[in-house]
Amino acid sequence: MTSSNISLTQFLIEEQRAGRVNPQLRLLIEVVSRACKRISIAVGKGALGGVLGDAGSAGEASINVQGEAQKKLDVLSNEILLEANAWGGHLAGLASEEMDTSQPIPDKYPRGNYLLMFDPLDGSSNIDVNISVGTIFSVLRCPDGVEQPRDEHYLQPGTEQVAAGYCTYGPSTMLVLTVGHGTHAFTLDREVGSFVLTTRGMRIPEDTKEFAVNMSNQRFWEAPMQAYVGDLLKGSEGPRGKDFNMRWVASMVADVHRILTRGGIFSYPLDSKCAAKGGKLRLMYEANPMSLLVEQAGGAASTGRMRMLEVQPTGLHMRVPVFMGSKGEVEAAVRYHQAHDANAAN
Ligand code: AFP
């Protein structure tokens, strides 16, 4: 269903009246959305804003905790989100993909009940070529009685998320949000400066003929992934009995947004290059928030071996294999892993 003339603020007030968000969580989401507007402005300026290219100075690349080179916009987006969220009184602490450890709220500000995690600018290697990038965020409750949350207090499974969302900076800027009662999309009205509800209750078609994966990693994949994609590629002549199309933006936000809009499966499986780390994508900043959004839209999300939202995190920057999107297709991918593991056990 497509809606109009309902701003994010109005939507959240209505959710509050319905008892689905409390004032602190409403403020938190408003603050994150305002920060996303600022990031959208910076991204939209492109080369004119002097923000393209690598962070660091004198030819020295700046490297983040993930061991990846940081872009200027990664650093700027991180600062915007930190600054916007520090003083509002809605957070007990926050953690970013770009920072080694979580940060408690400074003593000079009031403290709230929530923990915010974010990937400030996902897909940032796409910035310099003017392809969609995005911000992903996830909200957890700070455990009772914890005044100064430490990393271990964030290590809650994705089922504990009270809200999750992303903002995609593409041809239009869109915020996609769940507070656990459906997944809703808002489009930024740039002239007015507010997010307007454009799809209430996104639904991912159960079946699909479209998959998203970085095929250049094929030779590094595990056997069940080889078998699964091998059968997709056989198309109507193979066991799946239909022809599949492939799309890969290499910005998770853009790929998942397409899947939330028209279906598909997104996958970043285990491969021998990333196996020692557990996968490529991060559980807390990418996989969990996206999995909640996808599940709330009727889709499914898995590591290939278990439901993503039930994974017990062991570290803030933990990585996992990812399969998410149309329910029927995610279940098919999982079946290949189950069959392989069952054979290996016999
Ligand atoms: P960057 O933020 O470094 O561009 O990484 C993006 C990302 O985490 C995710 O958004 C993409 O789906 C994935 O990595 C792309 O990875 P490959 O470059 O290995 O295809």
Helix axes 72-86, 23-45, angle to 10 degrees: 150
Give residue 61's pLDDT: 66
Residues forming a β-bridge with 24: none
Of residues 1 and 302, more confidently modeled: 302
Q: Residue 152: CB partners within 8 Å, gap ≥ 6? A: none
Q: What is the pTM of this model?
A: 0.95
Ligand 1 binding residues, C-beta < 6 A: 68, 122-126, 214, 250-252, 268, 281
Residue 322, pLDDT > 70, answer yes
Does 184 have pLDDT greater than 60? yes
**pLDDT at residue 59 in the model:** 59
End-to-end CA separation in angstroms for the chain: 49
| Averaged pLDDT, 189-216 | 97
The tens digit of pLDDT for each residue in 12-57 reads 999 999 999 999 999 999 999 999 999 999 999 998 988 788 876 5
The enclosing H or E element of 178 equals strand 173-178
3-state secondary structure of 305: coil
- Return the amino acid letter for 222: E
Residue 1 or 21, more confident: 21
Cβ atoms of 42 and 51 within 8 Å: the answer is yes
Atom of ligand 1 nearest to the CA of 255: 12
Q: What is the pLDDT of residue 1?
A: 45
Residue range 78-88: average pLDDT?
92
Tokens found for residue 67: 């061991």
For residue 282, which atom of ligand 1 is closest to its CA?
Answer: 8
Q: Can you name the residues that pair with 118 across neighbouring β-strands?
A: 96, 137
Average pLDDT, the chain: 94
**Average pLDDT of the residues in 114-141:** 95
Ligand 1 centroid to residue 252 C-alpha, Å: 7
CB 228 within 8 A of CB 108: no
pLDDT of residue 54: 80
Average pLDDT over residues 186-211: 97
What is the Cα–Cα distance from 332 to 254, expressed in whole angstroms? Answer: 23
Quote the ligand 1 centre to 131 CA distance (angstroms).
12
The answer to whether 81 touches 120, Cβ cutoff 8 Å, is yes
Residue 107 has pLDDT above 90, yes or no: no
Least confident piece of the model among 41-50, 53-62, 112-121, 131-140: 53-62
How far is Cα 242 from Cα 332, in angstroms, rounded to an integer?
14
Distance CA 328, CA 146 (A): 41
